[in-house]
Structure 1
Amino acid sequence: MKNLIIIGARGYGREVCNLAKQCAGYNKDYVVKGFLDDKVDALVGFNDYPEIISSVEEYEIQENDVFTCALGSVKWKKHYVELILSKGGKFINLIHPTSIFNSNVQFGNGLIVFMYSNISNDCTIGDFVTIQGFAGIGHDSKIGSWSHLNAYSFMGGFAVLEEEVCLNTRATVLPHITVRKGATVGACSLVVKNVKENTTVFGVPALKLKF
């Protein structure tokens, strides 16, 4: 039996803790051991969660430990996952049983998929991708490693998200559109043309934001 440790004990960490308990492997392949977070009081006032064991930086990996990363920021997810990997840690996939994976979907390691997401035929999903509830991924789409798709986001057929992309809640990417590495798509936005690397777009149609 593996001991699952969740990186991050804030709101999203609590959500991932519940997801882990709803997946097929719970109490069969793993139990939830606890959280890693440098905010030691993050769970004060919340009941029925496992303890915060340590910060990520200070944690010494034990035999049978496995990990998942519950950080909504692409930047910090990558940072802390790479820190655990450098210590020899191993990550598992958490996929809610109501999610649908159609034919020939290929996916990597460290995947988190919440309830009622639909991944259509012949999609490719990289490592450490997060797909929140009710997301829709069209056929032949590609999602690069580290990307984060928030609830109700949608990608049309043959759409591409390169690495480290964030689609916020209800964002829609039309078919055959590419969102380049490190880009962010704002909530409820409609992406009708390719998005450049490391840019933020928002609106209907989605346009580049200038800060």
Structure 2
Amino acid sequence: MKNLIIVGARGFGREVYDLATQCSGFNIEYVVKGFLDDKADALEGFENYPPILSSVENYKVEENDVFVCALGTVKWKKHYAELILQKGGMFINLIHPSTKLNTNAIAGTGLLVFMYANISNDCIIEDFVTIQGYVGLGHDTKIRKWAHVSSYSFTGGFVVLEEETTLNTRATILPHVIVRKGATVGACSLVIKHVKENSTVFGIPAKKLDF
């Protein structure tokens, strides 16, 4: 039996805890040992959760530990997951049993996939991707490492989300569009053409925002 440790004990961490308890491996392949967070009182006022064990920086990986990273911001997900990897930690997938992986869909490691996501034929999902609830991925979608896809988002066929991209809630990406590395798509946006690296787009149709 493995001991699952959730990196991050804030709001998203609490959601990931429930995801962990709803997956088929719970109490069969793993139990939830607790959270890692540098805010020791992050769970103060919340009941029915396992404890915060330590900060990531101070935690010593133990035998039978496995990890998931429950941080909703790509920058910090990557930062803290890499700290655990440097300590020799191993990450697992949490994929909700209601999620559908169609023929030839390929899933990497360290994934979080929430309820009723549809991962269509021949999709490729690389390591440390987060896919929240009710997401629809069209056939041949490719999602590269570290990306975050928020609830109710949709990608058409042959879409590519490059490394460290973020789709916010209800974002829609039309077929054959590429969202380049580090780009962010705003909530409820409709993307009809390629999105440039490290840019933020928003609207219908989505246009670049300058800050």
Whether TM-score is above 0.5 comes out as yes
Cα separation, 1, equivalents of 2:147 and 2:28? 29
SS at match of 1:31: strand
SS at match of 2:75: helix
Partner of residue 92, structure 1 = 92
Partner of residue 209, structure 2 = 209
Partner of residue 33, structure 1 = 33
Cα separation, 1, equivalents of 2:192 and 2:80? 33
Q: Does 1:53 align with 2:53?
A: yes
Cα separation, 2, equivalents of 1:41 and 1:101? 38
Please report how far the alpha carbon of residue 185 of structure 1 lies from its aligned counterpart in structure 2 after TM superposition.
Answer: 0.1
SS at match of 1:201: strand
Partner of residue 4, structure 1 = 4
Partner of residue 134, structure 1 = 134
User: Given residue 109 of structure 2, which amino acid in structure 1 is its aligned partner?
Assistant: N
SS at match of 1:76: helix
Query: TM-score, length-normalised on structure 2?
Result: 1.00
Q: Which runs of 5+ in 1 are unaligned?
A: none
What pairs up with 1:13-162 in 2 under 5 angstroms? 13-162=13-162
User: Given residue 113 of structure 2, which amino acid in structure 1 is its aligned partner?
Assistant: V
Counting matched residue pairs gives 211
SS at match of 1:77: helix
Please report how far the alpha carbon of residue 107 of structure 1 lies from its aligned counterpart in structure 2 after TM superposition.
Answer: 1.3
SS at match of 1:68: strand
Q: Does 1:184 align with 2:184?
A: yes
User: Given residue 193 of structure 1, which amino acid in structure 2 is its aligned partner?
Assistant: K
User: Given residue 33 of structure 2, which amino acid in structure 1 is its aligned partner?
Assistant: K
Cα separation, 1, equivalents of 2:44 and 2:68? 22
Deviations 1:87-145 (A, max 9, x none): 00000000000001000001110000000000000000110000000000000110000
Cα separation, 1, equivalents of 2:44 and 2:81? 25
SS at match of 1:25: coil
SS at match of 2:181: coil
Cα separation, 2, equivalents of 1:163 and 1:132? 17
SS at match of 2:14: helix
CA RMSD of aligned residues (A): 0.3
Cα separation, 1, equivalents of 2:9 and 2:123? 31
Query: TM-score, length-normalised on structure 1?
Result: 1.00
SS at match of 2:35: strand
Please report how far the alpha carbon of residue 202 of structure 1 lies from its aligned counterpart in structure 2 after TM superposition.
Answer: 0.3
Cα separation, 2, equivalents of 1:11 and 1:34? 15
SS at match of 1:139: coil
